[in-house]
Chains A and B, each alone.
Chain A
C-alpha cells in the first residue's frame, strides 16, 4: 500500500509540476513580434513610427491624391477621374472613394495604436526624448488623417482609441471639433518633435509648426465671412509660419525642376525644402511601400520601362493650360509641371536620348514623372517610382506667411509678406510684385504646388469663408478637352490651343464627397447629425 501511495505521489507530482507552471498557458506568437514586447527602446520606437511615413499612405497617394486633390481642384484632365472632375463621384465607387476613405482612417488607427503601444510598453528603457518624439510623430500623422477627412467629408467620427471605440455606433463629430482635434494634435507634435530631424526625412518641430500655420490659416475662415476671418487663428498662422521661416533649418531649393527629380527628393535624400514628404521605397514588397503615381500618369510605357505608364489620356486641365499660355513668363514651373507639344526632356528615357513630346491631344503631366529605373540609378520598378510625395514644402509656408500677414485686409504691401511671396516667384523666374491680394497669393500657390495634391483643399479653404466665390471660381474653370500644338519655329515658344469648353461648377451639395455606401451600410448612424466631441474623454 505504501508503495502505491509513493508511486502515485510521484506521478501526481510529475503531473502537476508539468502544468502548474504559471506561464504554461501563456503562449505569445513565436514567429512574430507582438505589441506587448516591443516599443521598449529608442530603436524600437523609431521602428514603430517609421512605417507611418509610407505604407499607410499608399491608398491616398495611389488614387485619392489626384482624384480628390487635383481632379476636384480643377488642375486635371483625365479619362479616369471624370466623376471627380465633374464633382459627381458615386458613393459606390470602390476604386478611389473607398480606398481613400479607408486610408485616412488607417492612418488614424495605426497612429492611435502605435501611440498606445509606446505609452504602455512595459520595462521600457527608451529615452524620454525619443518616446516623446515617437508620440509626436503619431499625433502629427493622426492630425494629417483628420485634415483630409474633414476637408473631404466634413463631419466625421473622431477615433482616438481604436480598441475602446471599436464598434459601428460612433457618431460623426462636428467640423469644429475635428479642427480643434487637428490643431491639438499638431501642437503636441510641435512641442515634442526635435528641432532638427532625428534621421533625415523625419518630422521636426518645424514640420509641425508649418502644418499648424496651414491649419490655422484654413480654420480662420471656418464659419466666417470674407474680411472677418478669425484674427487669433490668422495670428497663430503668422506666428508659426514665421517660426519655421526664421529657424534656418529649412531653405528653398535653388532649382524648381530639381524638386521633382528622384535624386533630390527620395527617402534617402530629402531636400532642404521638404518639411514633410511621404517616404517611398524603391521596392514594392510588401505592396504599399511603393509610389505608384508615375505608373498612372507617365504618358507612355517607354517613359517608365517597367510595363506601366498608363497616363496617355491624363494631363493638365484646359484651365491650367490656359494659365500657362496666358503667362508665358512662368515657363520654368510650366515645363516642370506639364509636357507641352514640342518639349524635349533629356532626363527621361536617357538611353534613347531623351523624350520629345509629340502629343497634341493633351498636355501630359511631368511633375513627379522621373523616368525608368535606368534613369534613376537603377532604383524603382513596376508601379514603383523612387520619389517622395510632398505633403508640405517651405515654398507653401512662405505663401501662408504672406497671407497670414495680410490677414483680413484686401491687400498688403507689408515688406515681410512681399519678401517671401516674391522669393517663391523669383525662383520661378518671375518678377517681384509690390502689392498683393488674396487672389494673387491663391493663384501663386495653385501654380507653385500644381498636381501635388493640394488644389482642392485650397478651394475648400476659400469655401469656408466665401462659398459663393469658391463656386464661381470652379464655375469658371474650363474642364473640357483641348488640343495643343507648338507653333513651329516660335521662340520664345508659343502654342495654339483649341478648346472644347466644358464647365462643372461646384454646388453646395457637392462640396463634400459622399460617404462610401458600404460604410453607411455598416454604420447607418453616420447619417445622423454630427455631435460635438467631448475632449475630456481624451487620455491626458
Chain B
C-alpha cells in the first residue's frame, strides 16, 4: 500500500525530528552507521527468577523487544548505544553496549516506588510522576487478598477517604462507597465507576425493614473481580473535574486485564469457602419466655398460655436463630487465557461463582465471560475491544420477608416443624408471627440479570504524539424479578390461597456513549506538553413491565398463568419507561518543565436532559500544580529522598441528582372519565449541584523507596444542593402523599461542607533474600457539615419513633430521640417529674405513669423553654452515624515460597441506632419473643391503682421498663439507650499461601501452582450488641439515612481454600 508507506515515512521523519530534539540536549549524536549486531541476554530478579515480558529498548530509537518466558531476549544494537531495560515492579536499568558486549546477564532490583508506572486518569493515562491530582490505585493483588462477591467490596480499607459500608451482608448485596464524605442529601452519593470506558453510577442501596427492596445487587455485581487489573480512585478535584457533572462523588476507573505479547498464559483457579454462623443475639428461651408471659398476664396484659403454668418443667424451646442459620459454601471457579503477538493480544476469561447464604432463601450466583482484544491493524491504527457478558441470580427471600427479624422475634414455644415433618406455627394468625424458616423455604423470590458491558475503541496516530481516539461503549441489562408467596397453614397460622401472590417484573436498561478525543503529546527541550480535546455523548433508557396475580392453589405453577385470572388489577399490571441523555465537550492541558514543575488545567462543559433549557449546561473547570522538589539540584545531596512532590489543586465538579424539571400530571378517576392534575411543581431553574474542592497533598518516597507517604487534605464546598425542601403549606404542596397533592419541587436550596484528611504509609520493613515484610496503613478522616438549608429535613422512619434530622450546623442525617433519665422508682418520683404524655397531665396509675416506666427528660417546650411536658419538643440529637475516622492496616510477609497477609480494617466513632434491639426489648407482652435482657424488666410492687401512693420498684438497677399494656407512659420512645457505639476493628482477612517450586510443578506440566488458605472476618472487636456493626447508609424514601440497624444480615467468618495453577 503506497499510502501506508507514505505515512510510515512521515512518521519516521517526525520521529527522527523529535528524537533529534531530545538527543541534541545530551549532545550525543546517534551513531546510526555503527555496525549493529545481535545482543542476547537474560533478565532475572534478585532471587533468580526469570523476568518475562520486560521491555528492552535501544535508547533513543523505537527498537524494542520483549523478554520471553525464560527472561531471554535478543536485540540488534551497536556499540556505544544504550539498552534501557524496564519491567513493572522493577527499577529501570540502563546498560551501555561496548564492543565486548555479547551475552548479558541482567539482574533487576525490585522497585518499591513504581515511579515509572503509568496510571489511568480520566480519559487517558499519565506517568505517575506527572500526576498532580490526588488519586489512589488499588491493584489486582490487593483485590485478590480478600474473598469478595463483588469487586466494590474489595475497596474496603484499601484507600484513604474511601468509606465502604454495606446495608446488608446478603450475598450479592452492593456496598455503599462514599468518597470524601457525602456530597448529596437526596441523590446518589456513590462514585462514578468507569469500567474500560463504560460509565456506571449506582444509586444508594435502598432499604426499609417493613418494605424491603426486591434486590440488593446492581449492574456492578456482574463484574468478575478477578478480571480487574487496577482500580484507580480519583479523588482530587482536578482528576474528577474532567468528568464534570458526574464527578462530584469521586470516580473509580477500572481497567480490566489485557493480554501481553509472548507465550500464552493459561490460569485456572478454584476457591472453596465455608461460611460460618453468626454469634446469636441472646433472646429468651422457653422457660424465660413462659415466665415472662405469666408476668404479662399479672400486669393486666395479654393472657398467658395454660402450658406455661410451671416454666421450670419446660424444655428450652425453639432456638430460632440456630434453626435459621447454617454453615454454607461459597465456591468460585475461574480460568483465563491470555497472550498474543506483537500485533494482537488477547485476554479471555470465564468464571462461575456461587455463594449460598447463611440464612436459607438467600444466595448469589454469577457466570461471566470476558474477551479483551487489542490489534495494531496498521502502524497508525490500533483497535481494541473489551467485551463481557454475565448472568447473575440473587435469591432474596430472606430480606424480602424480613426472615432474620422474624427469627429474632418469633417465640420459642412455636416449633419449626411438627413431628410429622410439616411446618410448625402458632395456633392462630391474630397477633402472632409466622414461621421464618418455613417462609424462607416456601417463598420463591429471586432476581435474574443478564448483562453486557463493553466497548470498542480505535486509535489513529497521525504523527507521533498526535492521536485521534474514538470509542463506543455500552451496557445492556435485562433484569427480571420474580416473587412468589404461596398460601399456607402452619398449625393454624393461615395465609389463604386467595392471598397467595405472584409478581413478575421485567426491566430492560441500556446505556451507550460515544467518545472522541484528539490528544497531542510532545516534548520540546525541557517543556512537556500534553493537550486533549474531546466530545462525548451518552444516552440511556429504562423500561419496565410488571404484573401480579393472586389466588394460587398450588406451588407448582408460580407464573402468572397459575393465578386467578380475575385477580388482575390495573393498578398492579403496569409498564414504565424513562430515558435521559448527556452531551459534553471537554479538554485538558498539561505542561511540565524539566520534570520538576507540572501544571494541569481541565474544563468540561456538560449538558444534561435532567435539567430544563434555562440551566441545562454547566461548566466545570479545574487547575492543579505539582512541584517535584526532589528533582531540584539542592535536593541532590539528600539521597535518602527518592521522590518528594507537592501538589495543589482546585476544581469544580457536579452532581445531576435531579428527578426532572417537567411538571408531570397524575391521573384521577372522575365521573366524566380519567382526569389529570398536576403532580409536581416544575422547576425550570433547577441546576447542578456543584462541588468546589481545594486539595493539598504530597507524595514522599525515601530510603530507596522503602518508605512511601501519600497525604492529602481537602475542603469540599457543595453548593446548590438539590433537595426536596418542604415549603409552607400555603404554597399548595405536600411532602408525602395526600389526596390531590403536588410534590414540592426539587430545588437548589442547600450547602454542605466536607473537610478531610487522608494519609497512606507504605513501608518495606524487611527485605532479605528470603524474607520480606511490608506494611501498608491508611487512615482517613472525613467531616460533613450542612451549612445552609431553608428548613431542616426531618424524617421519621416508617412513621415509627425513629427519626433523623439534617439541619444546619450538623452532619447530615443525625439520629434524634429523647433522653431517658432512668426508671420511675415510686410515686414521688413520678409526681416530681414532668408529665410524660403530651396532654400534660401527670397520672400516677398503671394506666398512666407507674414505677418502672421510663423517665424521659424535659428539655424544651414549644417556645424553647422547659414546659414540664414530654412531647416532640424534647427530642434531641442523640447519635451521629458517621465514623470519626476509619483505617486499613495491611501486613504482608513472604518467606521463600510462603506468603502471609494480615488485613485489618477499622471504623471508629460512629453511633448506631440499634432498632432491632429497640423493637425486641420494649413491648407490652404480646406473642413475640424478647431479648434475654428483658428478663430483668422492672417489677413494681403492685399493679393496683389503690397502691399508687406506696408502690415502689422492687428490682432497681435495670433499664428495661415495666410491663405496661397499652404503653400509657410512652416507653416506646427512642432514647439514647437505643444508641450504641458502632466502632469496630475487624481482622478482615488472614491468608497464607504457598507457591510450589517451579522445578516440582514443571514435572506435572505446570508453570506455577499456588495454594492458599484464608480466614475472612476472623474476629471483630466491638461493643456493638447487634449482629454486625458495619451499618451502611441507605436511601430511605428519597433521603439518606444512616446508622440504623434493623437486623442486618450479618457478615460472618469465612474459611477458604484456594488453588491457582498456571499452565
Q: Within 8 Å of chain B (Cβ to Cβ): is A441?
A: no
Q: A460: CB under 8 A from chain B?
A: no
Docked complex: A1-50 residues within 8 A CB-CB of B: 1-4, 7-8, 11-12, 15-16, 18-19, 24-36, 38, 44, 46-50
Asked if A59 contacts B537 (CB within 8 A), the reply is no
A472 within 8 A of B: no
Contacts A/B (CB < 8 Å), 27 sampled: A1-B7, A7-B460, A8-B468, A15-B535, A19-B514, A27-B609, A35-B663, A35-B682, A47-B676, A50-B670, A51-B677, A52-B677, A54-B668, A56-B739, A106-B742, A113-B678, A117-B663, A162-B681, A166-B681, A166-B745, A168-B790, A267-B670, A281-B670, A287-B737, A288-B740, A289-B668, A289-B669
Quick check: is A286 within 8 A (CB to CB) of the other chain? Answer: yes
Given that A11-B470, A25-B608, A162-B681 are known contacts, is A281 also in contact with B579, CB under 8 Å in the complex? no
Q: Tell whether, in the assembled complex, residue B674 and residue A522 are in contact, meaning their CB atoms are under 8 Å apart.
A: no
State the Cβ distance, B532 to closest chain A Cβ, in Å: 15
Select which of B516, B571, B731, B862 is within 8 A of A165 by beta carbon. Answer: B731
Interface check B771, CB cutoff 8 A: no
Verify if B100 is at the interface (C-beta below 8 Å from A).
no
Chain A residue contacts of B1057, Cβ below 8 A = none
- B669 / chain A contacts, CB cutoff of 8 Å: 281, 283, 285-286, 289
Contact with B along A504-534 (1 / 0, CB 8 A): 0000000000001111011100100000000
Is B607 close to A, CB under 8 A? yes
**A15-B535 Cα distance, complex, nearest whole Å:** 8
**Which residues of chain B are near A518, meaning CB under 8 Å?**
729
Interfacial chain B residues near A526, Cβ < 8 Å: 728
**What B residues does A430 contact at CB under 8 A?**
none
Partner of B10, one of A1, A36, A105, A285: A1
Q: Is A364 an interface residue (CB 8 A)?
A: no
Q: Restricting to A473-524, which residues have a CB under 8 Å from any CB of B?
A: 516-519, 521-523
Instruction: Choose among A28, A101, A110, A163 the residue that contacts B729 (Cβ–Cβ < 8 A).
Output: A101
Please state if A167 and B675 are interface contacts (CB–CB under 8 Å): no
Q: Does any Cβ of B come within 8 Å of A99's Cβ?
A: yes
Q: A56-B740, A166-B745 are in contact. Are A114 and B729 (CB under 8 A)?
A: no
Tell me if A379 counts as interface (CB < 8 A to partner B). no
Could you tell me the distance in whole angstroms from the C-beta of B836 to the nearest C-beta in chain A?
17
Of all chain B residues, the one with the shortest Cβ separation from A200 is: B671
Q: How far is the CB of A379 from chain B (nearest CB, A)?
A: 12
Q: Are A3 and B3 in contact (CB under 8 A)?
A: yes
Asked if B353 lies at the interface with its beta carbon under 8 angstroms from chain A, I say no
Q: A35 touching B516 by the CB < 8 A rule?
A: no
Q: When the two chains form their complex, are residues A27 and B581 in contact, meaning their CB atoms are under 8 A apart?
A: yes
Type the 1/0 row for B704-728, where 1 means its CB is closer than 8 Å to any CB of A: 0000000000000000000000111
Q: B572 to nearest A CB, angstroms?
A: 11
For the complex, is A306 an interface residue (Cβ under 8 Å from B)?
no
Residues of A within 8 Å of B672, CB to CB, are 46-47, 50, 199, 201-202
Contact (A105, B731) CB under 8 Å given A36-B663, A99-B738, A279-B670: yes
Q: Is the CB of A159 within 8 A of B609?
A: no
- Whether A25 pairs with B728 at a CB distance below 8 angstroms is no
Q: Who on chain B is nearest to A110 by CB? A: B677
B interface list, Cβ under 8 A from A: 3, 6-7, 10, 380, 460, 462, 468, 470, 514, 516, 535, 537, 539, 571, 575-583, 607-609, 613, 616, 660, 662-666, 668-679, 681-682, 726-734, 737-742, 745, 790-791, 862
Residues from chain B with Cβ under 8 Å of A32 in the complex = 664-665, 679
Q: Is the CB of B734 within 8 A of A106?
A: yes
Could you tell me the distance in whole angstroms from the C-beta of A184 to the nearest C-beta in chain B? 19
> Quick one: which of A3, A11, A287 contacts B739, CB cutoff 8 A?
A287
A190 interface contact, C-beta 8 A: no
A109: interface (CB < 8 Å)? yes
B80 CB to closest chain A CB, in angstroms? 35
Across the interface, which residues of A come within 8 angstroms of B380, CB to CB? 4
A3 nearest in chain B by CB position:
B3
Is A25 a contact partner of B516 (Cβ separation < 8 A)? no
> Which 3 pairs between the two chains have the least Cβ-Cβ distance?
A288-B739, A109-B732, A19-B537
Contact of B730 among A12, A16, A105, A163 (CB under 8 A): A105
CB closest chain-A residue, reference B741: A106
Q: For residue A52, which residues in chain B have a CB less than 8 angstroms away from its CB? A: 677
Contact A163 B682 (CB under 8 A): yes
Do the beta carbons of B677 and A56 come within 8 Å of each other? yes
Closest chain A residue to B539, Cβ basis: A24
Do the beta carbons of B677 and A168 come within 8 Å of each other? no
Q: Indicate whether A108 sits within 8 Å of B608 (C-beta atoms), given known contacts A18-B514, A53-B670, A163-B681.
A: no
Residues on B with C-beta less than 8 A from A109 are: 678, 731-733, 742
Residues of B within 8 A of A143 (CB): none
Q: Smallest CB–CB gap between B899 and chain A, Å?
A: 48
Known pairs A1-B10, A25-B616, A108-B732; list 4 more (Cβ under 8 Å): A32-B665, A56-B677, A110-B677, A167-B731
Inter-chain CA distance A44–B677, complex, in Å, is 11
The complex places the Cα of A438 from the Cα of B105 at a distance, in Å, of: 120
In the complex the two chains form, is B739's CB within 8 Å of A55's CB?
yes
List, in ascending order, chain B residues with CB within 8 A of A53's CB: 670-671
Given known contacts A48-B676, A288-B739, A55 and B668 CB-to-CB distance under 8 angstroms: yes
Contact of A51 among B535, B582, B608, B675 (CB under 8 A): B675
A318 to B731, CA, bound (A): 40
Rounded to whole angstroms, the CA-CA distance of A521 and B539 in the bound complex is 43
Name the one of A25, A157, A199 contacting B607, with C-beta atoms under 8 angstroms.
Answer: A25
Question: Is A119 in contact with chain B by the CB < 8 A criterion?
Answer: no
Complex contact B583–A19 (CB within 8 A): yes
Q: A55-B740, A105-B730, A159-B731 are in contact. Are A289 and B670 (CB under 8 A)?
A: yes
A170 within 8 A of B: yes
- Name A90's closest neighbour in chain B (CB-CB): B838
Q: Which of B535, B732, B740 contacts A58 (CB 8 A)?
A: B740
Q: Which residues of A contact B665 (CB under 8 A)?
A: 32-35, 38
- Give complex CA distance A54, B668 in Å: 9
Chain A, residue nearest B609 (CB): A27
- Inter-chain contacts of A114 with B (CB < 8 A): 677-678
B668-A113 in contact (CB<8A): no
A289 — which chain B residues lie within 8 A by C-beta?
668-670, 739
Determine the distance from Cα of A46 to Cα of B676 in the docked complex, in whole angstroms: 9
Q: 8 Å CB contacts to B: which residues of A214-248?
A: none
B430 to chain A, nearest CB (A): 15
Contacts A15-B535, A166-B731, A289-B669: A30 and B578 contacting too (C-beta < 8 A)?
A: yes
Cβ of B676 and Cβ of A15 under 8 Å apart? Answer: no
Q: Are B516 and A11 neighbours in the complex by a CB distance under 8 Å? A: yes
B295–chain A nearest beta-carbon distance, Å = 33
The answer to the question of A268 belonging to the interface, with a C-beta cut-off of 8 Å to chain B, is yes
Q: Which residues of A contact B663 (CB under 8 A)?
A: 34-36, 113, 117
Question: How far does the Cβ of A405 sit from chain B's closest Cβ, in whole Å?
Answer: 36
Given A32-B665, A288-B739, A105:B677 Cβ within 8 A: no
Residues of B within 8 Å of A117, CB to CB, are 663, 678
Q: Is A102's CB within 8 Å of the partner chain B?
A: yes
| Contact B739–A59 (Cβ < 8 Å) | yes
Q: Given the complex of chains A and B, what is the CA–CA distance between A41 and B613 in angstroms? A: 26
Interchain nearest-CB distance for A242 vs B (Å): 30
- Does A156 sit at the interface, judged by CB under 8 A? yes
Are A159 and B673 CB-contacts (below 8 A) given A24-B537, A109-B742, A522-B726? no
B730 to A157, Cβ gap below 8 A? yes
A108 to B535, CA, bound (A): 47
Closest B residue to A101 by beta carbon equals B729
- Docked pose: A36 CA to B661 CA in angstroms: 11
Most buried by B among A3, A12, A52, A199: A3
Give the chain B neighbours of A112 by CB distance below 8 A. 732
Q: Mark A272-293, 1 if CB is under 8 A from B, else 0.
A: 0000000101010111110000
Q: How far is the CA of A3 from the CA of B679 in the complex (A)?
A: 55
Chain B residues lying within 8 Å of A521, measured Cβ to Cβ, are: 791
Establish whether residues B537 and A15, one from each chain, have CB atoms under 8 Å apart when the complex forms.
yes
Q: Contacts A30-B577, A56-B739, A101-B729 given: A25-B671 contact, CB under 8 Å?
A: no
Give the complex CA separation of A156 and B742 in angstroms: 20
